[in-house]
Amino acid sequence: MEGKTYEAAGVSLALADSVVDRLRAAVESTGTEGFGAFAGLYPLDDRRLLAATIDSAGTKLVLARKAGRLRQIGADLAAHCVNDVITTGAEPLFFLDYVVGHSLSLEQVAELVEGAAEICREAGCALLGGETAEMPGVYREEELDFAGACVGLVEREDLIDGSRVETGDGARSRHRRRDRRQPLARTAGGPRAGARLGQLGATGGLRLAHRPGRERGGAAQGLQRRHRDVRRRSGRRRGRGARDRESRVIGVLVSGEGTNLQALIDEGLPIAAVASNRRGVRALERAETAGIPASAFELDDFESREERDAAMADWLAVRGVTLVVCAGYMHLLRPVFLDRFDKIVNTHSAPLPEFPGAHPIEDVLAAGVPETAATVHYVDEGVDSGAVIVAEPVPVREDDTVESLRARVQAVEHRLLPQAVRELIS
């Protein structure tokens, strides 16, 4: 049988080499050396170097999407980037991702990012965040791509650049070393990736955030550049009197049962309206029983998500809503909605940013960590990437199942969410 080649598949290795050769002069004019390796190197000081790489998932996404295995592609991309950094002898520090396509769904983005997060946890590498983009004029329908970048740190004496390779040298496995760096199996007080980030900035004068641990609230507020308080329009929510604080300013977004909505209702919070992306859900019944205006905005009723989110924002705004609470709402909100309100908050059943995505309880149990958390955080364009407002640890028991752990986390959420919301409107 005839062997398969890159060229036969439409990929030209010769062109790739030509691109490197053509760009070499321009790139090296900026001070770069060794252009064309798996990871680029940047001298941080006389003793240490940063190693950085970038990659994308490519055409395998076509098959993975059809097979429902996007999570594996997310893991594959993160592993590629981590491995590229490791080829220099560097320890991976952090990873960033980028999801782009014709149109994106929450489920697809969540699967990709959750897969990447799984590898980052294994590698002791912080997933700092990422970006999403929809480009219907560039990508075909159902087409998407996933890209990522990883940065690591290597001592100059540990650098692997081929200069010390001699005849007879052999390869040494890194598995044992990486096993010692499993970040989620460490006892409290052990070294973490955040400690390496702190060391990185110690002599270079860099202002870097430590990787969040399981402390209450974490360090996400220091990492998040799109904090809702920073983005709000000038003049809003300033100088409110006691009467204004008691006005009905809360809008709640729901998708299902609505137990967090019920917790807000039971606390007597001033809820102006409840909106859902699905008709006939129990949460809408809870709102109607409490005498709260409620309406459904199903995606099929609109030309696009932007149109749906704009209509939903308009409906909430005319009812006086300034604070939006996502209580089990299962769609990513578009900028046309996000930019309309002072603050938008959400709950999550695990620590952030360690366990983002649609399956936090399953991810926590799979990681074998000693505790999860009930987390209240701000909402931005990303998947659970907004700044943490408050988080309360919830121990993981040896006999916990997904159902038992979820029930205990939800019990904490039902107490924590109303407290956080009341504080935000005070």
For the segment(s) 220-425, the CATH number from 3.40.50.300, 3.40.50.170, 3.40.50.150, 2.60.120.380 is: 3.40.50.170
Which H helix or E strand runs over 74?
helix 70-86
The lowest-confidence range among 87-96, 102-111, 150-159, 231-240 is: 231-240
The lowest-confidence range among 29-33, 158-162, 403-407 is: 29-33
Q: Rounded to an integer, what distance in angstroms lies between the CA atom of residue 252 and that of residue 344?
A: 10
* Domain spans, the chain: 22-160+199-204, 220-425
Q: Are 88 and 153 in contact (CB under 8 A)?
A: no
Q: Are 102 and 142 in contact (CB under 8 A)?
A: yes
Statement: residue 402 has pLDDT above 60: yes
Higher pLDDT, 46 or 76: 76
- Determine the pLDDT at residue 233: 27
Q: Would you put residue 348 in left (φ > 0), alpha (ψ -120 to 50) or beta?
A: beta
Q: How large is the average pLDDT for residues 238-242?
A: 34
Amino acid at position 11, single letter: V
Strand 91-101 relative to strand 48-56: parallel, antiparallel, unpaired? unpaired
Q: What is the pLDDT of residues 44-67, one digit of tens each?
A: 888 898 999 999 988 888 888 888
- Using only C-alpha atoms, what is the Rg of the chain? 24
- Determine the pLDDT at residue 31: 67
- Determine the pLDDT at residue 12: 72
Q: Place 93 in a pLDDT band, splitting at 50, 70 and 90.
A: very high
Helix (H/G/I), strand (E/B), else coil: 213: coil
CA torsion 220-343-383-51 (nearest 10°) is: -40
Q: How far from 401 is each of 348, 361, 363, 406, 414, CA to CA, in Å?
A: 18, 9, 12, 8, 20
Q: Rounded to an integer, what distance in angstroms lies between the CA atom of residue 338 and that of residue 317?
A: 12
Sheet holding 40-43, edge to edge: 40-43, 48-56, 144-155, 91-101, 126-134
Q: Are 421 and 269 in contact (CB under 8 A)?
A: yes
Q: Which phi and psi (to 5°) does residue 284 adopt?
A: -65, -35
Angle at 370 between CA 367 and CA 371, to 5 degrees: 95
Higher pLDDT, 246 or 111: 111
Statement: residue 196 has pLDDT above 60: no
The lowest-confidence range among 119-128, 188-197, 259-268, 380-389 is: 188-197
- Determine the pLDDT at residue 34: 60
Ranked by mean pLDDT, the top range of 17-31, 127-141, 144-158, 221-235 is 144-158
Distance of CA 264 to the CA centre of its chain: 26
Average pLDDT, the chain: 79
Statement: residue 214 has pLDDT above 50: no
Q: How large is the average pLDDT for residues 141-166?
A: 86
- Determine the pLDDT at residue 215: 31
CATH topology agreement for domains 22-160+199-204 and 220-425? no
Q: How many CB atoms lie within 10 A of CB 307?
A: 15
- 210, 331, 348, 377: the active-site residue: 348
Q: What is the pLDDT of residues 275-311, one digit of tens each?
A: 999 999 999 999 999 999 999 999 999 999 999 999 9
Q: Does 227 qualify as catalytic in the annotation?
A: no
Q: Are 424 and 344 in contact (CB under 8 A)?
A: no
- Determine the pLDDT at residue 379: 93
Q: What is the pLDDT of residues 317-361, one digit of tens each?
A: 988 899 999 999 988 899 999 999 989 999 999 999 999 988 999
- What dotted CATH number matches 22-160+199-204? 3.30.1330.10
